[in-house]
Structure 1
Amino acid sequence: MDYLIPPQPQAVALVAGSDAVFPVHRIYCVGRNYVEHAQEMGGTGREAPFFFMKPADAVLAVSETAVGEMPYPPMTDNLHHEVELVLAIGTGGKDIPVAGALSHIWGYAVGLDMTRRDLQAESKAQGRPWCTAKGFDFSAPLGAIHPAATVSDMDQARISLEVNGKTRQNSDTGKLIWSLAEIIHCLSQLYTLQPGDLIFTGTPAGVAAVQRGDVLQARITGLSELNIKLV
């Protein structure tokens, strides 16, 4: 096949304990999936799940031993952190039943859904899409993916985020409004899921602004930490 212009490199995520990489197809994100966060953003805490997307090359893949550098994005004065459990899909499908949904997960990782909150607020006020608020360059920092067979209790795992050593977010994945299996089920009714898809499953309460020079440390029990510095 002859390309008219050089194709862009395949977006990839790193894999814990391996030199192999995980090819990223699409990035789906679940909005307001912890009760406390839904309430702090103005919801009731029990709305039906809704989804938005980031481009695959928004991933900023960070190794287990590194502190990744994330450029502070332009056109914002209010960049927020949102720590999330990320599902890496290994087997695709559509209309996936809840009962078998977890078997479609290849692995798990810690991720950050970085958000230009001021642009999001403007978009909401005008009834416009959130693309500029959520889908900018490097807006999806991602730690190493752990194969599903090597971890357990991801539906009851501690999730937290520190900024410069001070805790901002601290919760448990057991407080998800829509479970991991339900997320896959609902999403697969809207899209045919593909191997390589990533699903950011929502963030707990405590989202707040960060500045250049801040160091973020995101943790989920059983997974590699994700450490980034804003530059």
Structure 2
Amino acid sequence: MNPILEARHIDKHFEGPVSFHVLKDINFLVNQGEFASIMGKSGCGKSTLLYVLSTMDTQYKGKLYLNNKLVTGQHPDKLAFLRNRHIGFVFQFHYLLAEFTVLENVILPARKLGIKTSSEIVKDGINKLKMLNIEHLAEKKASKISGGEKQRVAIARALINDPAIIMGDEPTGNLDSSNSQNVFNIFRRLSNEEGLSLLIVTHDKDFADQTDRIIEMEDGRILN
């Protein structure tokens, strides 16, 4: 198997009036095409771990590898490029720009990355919308579409730079059961057909039970 993401002995403290040991010797990897979920009670460190794994939080001890390359200790500009190029994000809230069209929202990360021409970026954006069966929404303002559609747009945006892994923080947290299942089905298809790796933090047991593996956390540690 080809590991896409690997954490080795990740430790993190929150400093402040009282030091708090939030992540304790975290070790695991996600292989190419694997669809994994992270579960645990509120406050166990799930979201903190996701921010470390996504390279957005660099204040930790241990080593983080992406595509078998060490990313710990890299310059912030390099990390920003790696994050935009290789990691797609889907959050509980979609963070779409309301006055931009659906297509404009989807292609924003590609414009920021700047490694393709404008026409290539637009073509890629349309293709991602087609993958999610929402190409008919391309010219609609993001403020004019439904909640379930917005989350699909957020997934298309996460896919625009053809990342190695999608990371999600409660991506179905604001959706009803039908739309939650739709999002799961999209993720499953991406894993099975596109070979995309997914690591999803969720409180939804029904969602997690359908993933390839559940990584359980408790008090800053991984239990399994």
Q: Same fold (TM over 0.5)?
A: no
Query: Quick check: which one's strand share is greater?
Result: 1
TM range (shorter): under 0.3
Query: Quick check: which one's helix share is greater?
Result: 2
Could you tell me the TM-score, scaled by structure 2's length? 0.26
Could you tell me the TM-score, scaled by structure 1's length? 0.25
